[in-house]
Amino acid sequence: MPTIKPVSTIIGMQWGDEGKGKLVDILTEKFDIIARATGGANAGHTIYRNGKKVIFHLIPSGMMHEGKICVIGNGVVVHIPTMMEEIDELKKLGINLENRFFISDRAHVVLEYHKTIDGLQEEMKGGKSVGTTKRGIGPAYADKIQRIGIRFGELQNFEEFEKRYMANLEMHKRMYGNFEHDEKKELEYLKSVLTNILPLIKNTEEYLHNELKQGKNILIEGANGTMLDIDHGTYPFVTSSNASISGISSGTGIPGSLITNVIGILKAYTTRVGSGPFPTELKDETGNYLREKGGEYGSTTGRPRRCGWFDTFVAKWTGMINGITEINLTKLDVMTGLEKVKICIGYRLNGKELSSMPFTAEDLEKVEPIYIEMDGWKEDISQAKKMEDLPENAKKYIKKLEELVEIPIKYIGTGVGAEDMIYC
């Protein structure tokens, strides 16, 4: 029997949008199977192929590579129309999905009433809204936890699926008022795409383990970022799933003991979409500079991202939680042109320096970042292919980040393309 190879994963170490998709795209050539473990269509992975920008919300971006198999694991919640749109887009690009794309029979379905409920819940919260993408992710996960969710395997008996669907809809209408919903239209649509969906459904946990036993290499693509993790993030301003290492294991059925290569993704600065505390946020010209130069607008919602300085306190926290073994520092090129750059090395709360991440979002909102300042650089780094090609001040910045975070930086992103990467 072939030796079972260690499983690799790529995890966001900030509030998402770190640039995970690009590294997945680069590393895919070394792997046989690329899997998604958590989240839903609230994730957006952007890659550039032959000058074309392609955004994936559900299907692993490894699908762009011929012969690679892609899996949506049991921990993902899937909005079928979004998935079908992505399948159609891939087909238009001439990409064959046959026997290359599978969905766990245990993955939960995001239905249109989940999206309606998402909007209703945000309205009810008023000024305390957490700023969701309103894609039904939270309500779908809530149904899962309440043990009333509907899973992909149930589509294999559509009559039973329909009964569950109607029972759940009626229950939600009793809870949220008799909101408008066209169940007939949705059920007809789902029935019409059944022939496309049923061949994709399988027991992916068993499948992945069997493939590991055959000596296959597996890469698991993280979604969102650890600071949005339901347990370890800035609760309640978080997503509804585990966007950390724990979700990678539970969302695929692969034990943590096999997931030993954990690559963390960090932007050279920090961004956040939506509400919630953000200690290093820049509400000035520098913040605008980073936003415009970095194209910091959400790939899922188009919302402008909040921008700020690199936060070592966040990086050390998420590095610890995930057991990160190496780092990909992304978007270093965006920092070019700044006279001075700052790095947050700690927080003060009520005049006292903190030794660990605050428990409450309220406290994190009040902290005062402690900064060190370094000289910036003006030289264009877009053509840099190795560390020696970088300006001295850029090298000093990278070295300082590595020293502070205490995890080796192995990849440095210098542009949007797959070729714009320095390997250390």
Contact assessment for residue 217 and residue 30, using Cβ atoms and an 8 Å cutoff: yes
Beta strands in 190-302, from DSSP E residues, in sequence order: 201-202, 218-221, 259-267, 270-272
Q: Which of 32, 45, 143, 232 is catalytic?
A: 45
Contact assessment for residue 360 and residue 422, using Cβ atoms and an 8 Å cutoff: no
Instruction: Give me 140's structure tokens.
Output: 């779908």
115: helix, strand or coil: helix
Residue 57 Cα distances to 141, 170, 396, angstroms: 17, 29, 36
Domains of the chain (ranges, CATH numbers)? 7-104+202-262 (3.40.440.10), 108-195 (1.10.300.10), 267-423 (3.90.170.10)
Cis upstream peptide for 236 (omega within 30°): yes
Look up tokens 């894609």; give the residue.
Answer: 135
Q: Residue 130: count other Cβ atoms within 10 Å of its Cβ.
A: 19
| Catalytic site includes residue 17 | yes
Q: Which of 17, 229, 333, 420 is catalytic?
A: 17
Q: pTM of the prediction? A: 0.94
Look up tokens 């020696």; give the residue.
Answer: 388
Contact assessment for residue 272 and residue 305, using Cβ atoms and an 8 Å cutoff: yes
> What string of pLDDT tens digits covers the 424 residues of the chain?
678 999 999 999 999 999 998 999 899 999 999 999 999 987 777 777 666 677 788 999 888 898 999 999 999 999 999 999 999 989 988 888 999 999 999 999 999 999 999 888 888 776 566 666 678 999 999 999 999 999 999 999 999 999 999 999 999 999 988 788 999 999 999 999 999 999 999 999 999 999 999 999 999 999 999 999 999 999 999 999 999 999 999 999 999 999 999 999 999 999 999 899 999 999 999 999 999 999 998 766 778 999 999 999 999 999 999 999 999 999 999 999 999 999 999 999 999 999 999 999 999 999 999 999 999 999 999 889 999 999 999 999 999 999 999 999 999 999 988 899 999 9
For residue 91, count CB atoms less than 10 angstroms from its CB and return exposed for 0-12, middle for 13-18, buried for 19 or more: exposed
Query: Whose CA is closest to 14, among 244, 222, 227, 275?
Result: 227
CA distance 344 to 172: 45
